[in-house]
Amino acid sequence: MKQLRFPRLNRRQRIARNLAVTAAALFLIAWMLDFPAWSKENLVRRAERQYLLTGSTLAYSAEDDYWGHELYIRNGERFLVARYSPTFLGLSPGWTHYIDQPLYCTTHWYNVTDILALSAMDALAAEMTVGLRVKNSDGFWLEETYQTQGQRLGEGVFRFVMEPHYEENDDSAAAQTERKLFAEELVANEWTITVRYYSETGELMGEEPVTDLDHDHWAW
């Protein structure tokens, strides 16, 4: 049987071959990573194109351990939430969620003490009231109402982080239940949430109840 022999290449040809193999490998890696984008702006354009939209703006970019890497993109009254992962080739795009509702609220799993809200309302400030009923393992029911000012992260993007009502050294059943709630060891059994929007001058622009909380934020 004739042995397969590769032609002997000179140095220039070897350089060309090596660069061609490198480029092919790089292309395949980029493909496996869904062709990472080189900037967030580029990710915004790609996300809006996938929903056949134009003229979107990046309202907020989350880059923390809690919410992960997400871009909150505003397009008129709609929002797109585009997940991405930083890689050595750039920002690898993930699933893009399409939100077309006046007020969208999401939580990290079932933790209602930290809520991210996307609102079509052009408010400069927002306030949230959260009424909760939580049952602990001993059958004790905690009923509390929390009120908090939203942290305006971007145009229409607010984060509402509740503050505990009980001191850390309080040993009452209510305090222990609240601590478990804030530590995500318990979930609220019932909740009522209202968001109020304020203008630049502090005037109340409107009030909106939250009818649905997206607990599956991480399942996108």
Residues that bind another protein in the complex, under the rule CB under 8 A: 11-12, 14-15, 18-19, 21-22, 25-26, 28-35, 46, 48-55, 75, 93, 96, 98, 100-101, 212
The H-or-E segment that residue 73 falls in is: strand 68-75
Q: Name the residue type at position 42.
A: N
Q: Rounded to the nearest 5°, which phi and psi values hold at 140?
A: -80, 135
Q: Where are the alpha helices (DSSP H) in the chain?
A: 11-32, 40-50, 173-182
118/213 Cα distance (integer angstroms): 12
Q: For another protein, which is the closer residue by CB, 33 or 174?
A: 33
Least distance from C-beta 72 to another protein, angstroms? 17
Q: Rounded to the nearest 5°, which phi and psi values hold at 137?
A: -65, -20
Q: For another protein, which is the closer residue by CB, 77 or 143?
A: 77
Least distance from C-beta 202 to another protein, angstroms? 33
Least distance from C-beta 55 to another protein, angstroms? 6
Least distance from C-beta 130 to another protein, angstroms? 21
Q: For another protein, which is the closer residue by CB, 19 or 124?
A: 19
